[in-house]
Structure 1
């Protein structure tokens, strides 16, 4: 039996398209997105306010530059194993906290770096003009720097989220969840008979990543202020 025949049989399972059965692709997709979105939101809350404040006062430049290298050096699977070990030692839920903490750790560097860079690269004349009109520092950060830096911030969130989508699948190795990655792990456990499930799970992860990429492309356009978009369009023309 070839892999395509196995894939067809796997997809024809009555529970494969269930929203409530763990065997269902919709169920696993929601689980996959839940971990990815929650991790991105937690990382954004921890990172963006601090990065905006540091960039506004021109502090933490070394930290911002180091965050890129830290993000590249962190092994995602190693983080998951580390937090799983700690959770098991402390009696915490090993099906939730290890994966969540590892995902948050992976999302922090790109979010911090892009937020910091987005604020720092703004023209100082614009900030000085806002001060001249009576804006306080917190108003400049919230009403000027954050909106103008939003396209760069969303770009960082885009990179982080795609990394999270890929890493959630790896998380299936150490917990009962793992979203769509559950199919890949279970397929390997079945040996030759699981090739169809592995293939189907891999396709599902790829499709989900491409859909998320498209959504973030739209979010980037939506997050760009109209004035800034017109200015960029004039520069390109």
Structure 2
């Protein structure tokens, strides 16, 4: 409990909110690397995932690539890329690492969203004369959006957690208090940094969870219990009226 109190005291210390390594600056760096990495990964993974989901071809390759990318240790890959590209290209090495981490979740969210759609819906759209582009934009994208947002949610959380190791190669971010505090045995500082990363991930998760629920098309949302019970009551009243009239 004392360690937790010390961590809160460290966070509230005015010295942590000013200077080169001020917490707002570290937060901005963390969010910047996260946003850039996920956007680049989305530009690569989403078109490929949509194509796989729409055509039904290449799923095995996507699964194999995703599995291989998930198996690569992010910290080892970051160090390897820094050594290969040079210390002057450390930001590029970090972005490549985070992009490779985000691609599997985005790719899976894109093609599984399309695969989850009842094929009879797609057949009906073709039967009424819709083009493939119209099917993609007006049927598959709206119906596949919840799973896609779920993939984005997973990718963001993984990247937010992994950007923490960027501080090891002097990229800043919320991992800086952790990396700096470990050799100094400042465990209050280490815990404070971990709490910041955890709170950021929790807030992003809550926001994306709300967006995922909002992405479900209105026509296929499950009615709330109150609305369902109200509909049942109205239906029973109507049935009683009809029975009385018939009698």
Q: TM-score, normalised by structure 2?
A: 0.83
List alignment gaps of at least 5 residues for structure 2.
230-247
Q: CA deviation at 1:174?
A: 1.5
1:87 and 1:228 map into 2 onto residues whose CA distance is: 49
The partner residue of 1:225 within 217, 220, 245 is 217
Superposed CA offset, 1:115-167 (max 9, x none): 11111121111112212222211221122111111111111111111110110
Please name the residue that 1:150 is paired with. Answer: 145
User: What are the Cα deviations for residues 83-114 of structure 1, in whole angstroms up to 9, with x where unaligned?
Assistant: 212220xx7531x1111110000011111112
- Residue 110 of structure 2 aligns to a residue whose secondary structure is helix
8 A Cα contact 1:16 1:23, kept in partner: yes
Aligned length: 226
Tell me how far apart the structure 2 counterparts of residues 105 and 23 of structure 1 sit (CA, whole Å): 28
1:23 and 2:21 correspond: yes
User: Highest CA radius of gyration, 1 or 2?
Assistant: 2
Distance (Å, rounded) in 1 between the aligned partners of 2:208 and 2:57: 29
- Name which of 100, 123, 132 aligns with 1:128: 123
Aligned residues of 1:64 and 1:116 also touching (Cα < 8 A): no
TM-score where L is the length of structure 1? 0.86
Partners of 1:39 and 1:84 lie apart in 2 by: 16
In structure 1, the residue corresponding to 2:42 is in which secondary structure?
A: helix
CA offset digits 1:56-96 (Å, max 9, x no partner)? 111012023324422431211122112212220xx7531x1
For residues 93-104 of structure 1, what are the structure 2 equivalents within 5 Å? Answer: 93-94=89-90, 96-104=91-99
Native 8 Å contact 1:71 1:110 kept in 2:
no
- Cross-structure match for 2:181: 187
How much does 1:181 deviate? Answer: 0.2
Relative to structure 1, is the Cα distance of residues 231 and 130 closer, same or farther in structure 2, using a 3 angstrom cutoff?
farther
**Secondary structure, aligned partner of 2:57:** coil
Taking structure 1 as reference, are residues 181 and 11 closer, same or farther at Cα in structure 2, changes over 3 Å only? same
Any unmatched runs of 5+ in structure 1?
none
